[in-house]
Amino acid sequence: MRSKDQVRRAVWKAMDREGVSRFPGAEGRVPNFAGAKLAAERLAGHRTWKRAQVIKANPDSPQTHARRRALEEGKTLVMAVPRLRDTHPFRLLEPRKLSAKQVGEAATIKGAMRHGTVVADDELPEIDLVLCGSVGVNLKGARVGKGGGYSDLEYGLLIEAGKIDDHTIVVTTAHPIQILRENLMMTAHDLPVDLVATPRAVIEVEREYERPRGILWNHLQPPQIHEVPILERMGYA
């Protein structure tokens, strides 16, 4: 089985080689891809999206279209500040409190930080759907992110706060080249997905992995905890 870093490098290289990566390029990030807007439209047509009223969303470029669609449809977004660097790292975006111009701006990471309301994790609404970014996924629900581990930490924090449970649907949007026909390395803190939305279709995967039950403190090193104020505040530093 390839390591996560090997998978990332292979996907980034393949996307650039096949000409399906988009600005600012694939390497080192959740890659923006050709058809990202269409993938968001496919996702928006799925029943789980239509039912969801509160969505926790990642800040990466390819999911900008889905975030904008959510806000335009009147859905509430929960987003985290980059690297969870604030004492209260979550922002709440409620479209009914935003102008049309602000809705458009709030779909971007800078706009979300500007227009979002600072909210303590225990004051957030219950979340119906989690949207995450991916470098690679497979049809068993395994997912490889860009390597920072922050999506997994955000999920764990929201589990601890009682805002997510095992029934909350987890989705990603991706280019078909990012769907891999191989087993992917998964640890207990890694977040698997239930749906993969591509420009062609929404794929419901047969998830074979357990989700994290919260923050797995024994998987964190002291420097990681010190870098995230909310973890220190929780008394585990």
How far apart are the C-alpha atoms of 135 and 175, rounded to whole Å? 10
DSSP label at residue 134: -
Q: What are phi and psi of 221, to 5 degrees?
A: -95, 150
Dihedral angle sign, alpha carbons of residues 82, 35, 40, 47:
negative
d(CA 221, CA 175): 33
What's the pLDDT score for residue 235?
63
In this prediction, residue 61 carries a pLDDT of 94
CB 68 within 8 A of CB 105: no
Listed in sequence order, the residues at least 6 apart from 17 whose beta carbon sits closer than 8 Å to its beta carbon are: none
Amino acid in position 140: K
Spans of the chain below 70 pLDDT: 235-237
| Model pTM score | 0.94
CB 144 within 8 A of CB 136: yes
